[in-house]
Chains A and B, each alone.
Chain A
Amino acid sequence: MTTKAVSPWRNLWIRFCEDRIALGALIVVAIILVLALFAPLIAPQDPYDLSGLSLRDARRPPGFVGSGAYVHWLGTDAQGRDLWSAILYGLRVSIQIGIFAGAVGLIIGTTVGILAAYHRGIAETVLMRIIDLQLSFPPILLALVLVAVLGQGKAQLIAALVAAQYAYFARTAFGAASAERSKDYIEAAMATPLSNMRIVFRHILPNAMPALIVVATVQVAYAIALESTLSFLGLGLPVTEPSLGMLISNGVKYMMSGRYWISVYPGIALIVLIVAINLVGDHVRDILNPRLNR
C-alpha cells in the first residue's frame, strides 16, 4: 500500500480547526494549562507562604500597590494574599483534581463497559442495570453522600468524583463496544486462537476511543465544577489545598459589603476554564457525530 491515507486523527484535527470558536476555546484551555503548570514561576507571590503575607494588605481593591511593592491587579483577599497568585495556584489544584478524577473514571468506566459488552449474558445484564440505576441518580447527591461517608480529604474527594462519574464512561464504552462486538470480524477473531485481551485492546478499544474522548473532556469539566461546588459547600478539599471553589467561598461574606473581587475573579477563572473545555468537547462531538456529517 503506497497510497497515503489521511489518518483519522489528523482528519479530526483538520476538521476541528475549521471552527474558529472551538479553536479559540482550545487555545484558551492551553493558555490556562500553561498558567497552572508554571504558576510558581508566574505568580508574584507564593500565596501559601504565610510569612510573605501582611494583614495591612488585606481586602484591598484591584490595582492596589501593597507592601510587596508590586501591583495587585486583581486585589487581595482577607489574609492580604495577592488574588492573581491565589487564582493561579487554585487553578493548579482544580485542574489536577479534574484530570485525575476524569482519568480514573475513564479507566474504571471503560473496563466495566467493555467487560459487559464483551462477555454479554449475565455480566451485561447485571453491570448495565447497576449503571442505569446510578445514572438516574444525580451525581451531586452521590458525591455528597460519599464525601459524608468517607470523610474529607483529597483521596476521598477524588473517590467521590469518580463514583459519581464512571457510569457515564461505562455507558459510552458499552455502547461503542457492543456495536463493535456484534460485527463479523470480531466473531472471526474470536474463532482464532487470539487472546481476549488482544481482541479488546487491538480491535474494540480503538473503536470506542473517539466517543470516550468526548465524554472525557466533558467529564473533566464536570469534575472541576463538582469539586468547586463541594469545596464551596465546605465539603471538598482541606483548607491547606485551596481550589477555586474554596477561594470563591472565602470571599462570599465580603461580597455582601461590596468587596466583590475576592469571590468574583476566582469565579471568572473557573467559568472561563469550564466553558472553554465544554466548547472544545462539544465541537469534537459534532465532528464525530455521523448524523451531522456532510
Chain B
Amino acid sequence: MSSFLLQRILQGIVIMAVMSVIVFAGVYAIGNPLEVLIPPEATQDVRARTIARFGLDKSLVEQYFLFISNLFQGDLGQSYIYNEPVLQLIGNRLPATLELVLTAVLGATFIGVPLGIYAGYKPDSVTARTIMAVSILGFSVPTFWVGLILILTFAVSLGWLPSGGRGDTAELFGIDWSIFTLDGWSHLILPATNLALFKLAIMIRLARAGTREVMLSDAVKFARAAGLSETTILSRHVLKLISIPIVTVFGLELASTLAFAVVTETIFSWPGVGKLIIDSIKNLDRPVMVAYLILTAGLFVTINLCVDIGYAVLDPRLRRGRAE
C-alpha cells in the first residue's frame, strides 16, 4: 500500500513539473505583455524600469527558474493589472468558487445517485424514462445557455431570486462565506443549480448503469432469498457495490467543475476565481494565468491521488492485492 502511494506521489510530482514547463512556455512564449503594461507614449526610462521590475529582460529559461524558485517560497508573482500578489488575489476569491463548486457537486451527487438507482431499478417505468430524458438534456445543452434560462425564469420573469452577485456573507475562520446566510443561499442557489446540471446527468447515468448490472448479480439474489426488503437491498448493498465508479467520477468532476465554474461565474457575476481568469486572459495578465493553471493542475493531481486512496478504502480486494 505504501509503495503504491509513493509511486503515485512521484507520478504526481512528474506531472506537475511537466505541466509547469508547458504552461509557462505556452503563456510566456507568445504574446507581448509590454503592450499591456506600458502605454505607447511612455518614455524609454519608464519602459526600461517596467521591464526590469517584471524580469522581462531575462531569457525564458531564467524567467522559468526564477518562477519556480519563487513558487517554492509561495510567491507566484505580482499581477500586472491589480498590482497585488497573485496568490493573495486568487486566495481572496477561492472561497467563493469553492463553495459554489462544492454545493453544485454535492447536490448533483445526492440528487443524481438516488434518481439513477431508481432509473436502473425500474428501467421501463415512465419515471425512469423521464429521468433519462432530462439527463440527455443535461448533457447536450451548453452550461451558459442553461444559466441564461435560469436567470430569465427565476430572476426576470418570476422575480423570486437575485440574478447575480454573492449576497450577504458570514465570517468563519476569517473568510467570508455565503452558505451561512439566508441571503447568501438565495444568491447561491441559481448558479449552483446551473453548475450542477451537467454533473447531475453524469451521476444519473453512472448510477443507473451500475444498478442495472448489480441487480442481476448473485449478491442481490441471495439478499432477496435472505428476506431483506427491497429498500434495504438498494440502500445497503446496491449502493455499496456501485460506489466505486461514483467516487472516481465525483473526484474528477470536482476538478473539472472548477474549470466549468468559469462560465457560470461570468453569467451570474459570481466573484470567484473563474471571473478572475477570464479577465486576466482578456488583459494578458500572465502571472495570474500561470498561477491559476498551475494551481488547477495541482488540484487535479491531488484529487486523483485522493481518489486512488478512496478506492483502496472502498474496495478491500484492491487493498489486499496491493499489499502483496
What's the minimum C-beta distance from B132 to chain A, rounded to whole angstroms?
11
CA distance A136 to B23 in the complex (A): 16
What's the minimum C-beta distance from A61 to chain B, rounded to whole angstroms?
15
B300 on the A face (CB < 8 A)? yes
CA distance A268 to B156 in the complex (A): 18
CA distance A278 to B133 in the complex (A): 13
Residues of A within 8 A of B260 (CB): 138, 140
The reply to whether A270 and B142 contact each other, CB–CB distance below 8 Å, is yes
Other A-B pairs, 19, CB within 8 Å; known A144-B281, A260-B156:
A138-B256, A140-B260, A141-B262, A144-B277, A145-B26, A148-B27, A148-B289, A149-B26, A150-B30, A151-B31, A229-B263, A232-B144, A234-B282, A235-B278, A256-B163, A260-B152, A267-B145, A271-B140, A274-B141
The reply to whether B142 and A149 contact each other, CB–CB distance below 8 Å, is no
What's the minimum C-beta distance from A77 to chain B, rounded to whole angstroms?
15
Residues of A within 8 A of B297 (CB): 137
Residues of B within 8 A of A217 (CB): none
**Known contacts A232-B144, A235-B281, A140 near B289 by CB under 8 Å:** no
CA distance A267 to B151 in the complex (A): 14
Chain B interface residues (CB < 8 Å from chain A): 15, 18, 23, 26-27, 30-31, 136-137, 139-145, 148-149, 151-152, 156, 163, 252, 255-256, 259-260, 262-263, 266, 277-278, 281-282, 284, 289, 293, 296-297, 300, 304
CB contacts under 8 Å to B, within A181-215, are none
Residues of A within 8 A of B142 (CB): 225, 228-229, 270-271, 274
What's the minimum C-beta distance from A162 to chain B, rounded to whole angstroms?
15
The reply to whether B263 and A140 contact each other, CB–CB distance below 8 Å, is yes
Pick the contact of A136: B143, B148, B304 (CB < 8 A): B304
Chain A interface residues (CB < 8 Å from chain B): 133, 136-138, 140-141, 144-145, 147-151, 221, 225, 228-229, 232-235, 248, 252, 255-256, 258, 260, 263-264, 267, 270-271, 274-275, 278-279, 282
What's the minimum C-beta distance from B104 to chain A, rounded to whole angstroms?
14
**Known contacts A229-B144, A271-B145, A274-B141, A255 near B262 by CB under 8 Å:** no
The reply to whether A233 and B278 contact each other, CB–CB distance below 8 Å, is yes
Closest A residue, CB atoms, query B18: A133
The reply to whether A255 and B141 contact each other, CB–CB distance below 8 Å, is no
**Known contacts A137-B300, A274-B141, A149 near B27 by CB under 8 Å:** yes
- Please name 11 pairs of A and B residues whose Cβ atoms are closer than 8 Å in the assembled complex, sorted by A: A140-B262, A140-B263, A141-B296, A147-B281, A148-B27, A149-B31, A228-B144, A229-B143, A235-B282, A275-B136, A278-B139
Closest B residue, CB atoms, query A267: B145
CA distance A144 to B259 in the complex (A): 10
Residues of B within 8 A of A147 (CB): 281
CA distance A133 to B15 in the complex (A): 8
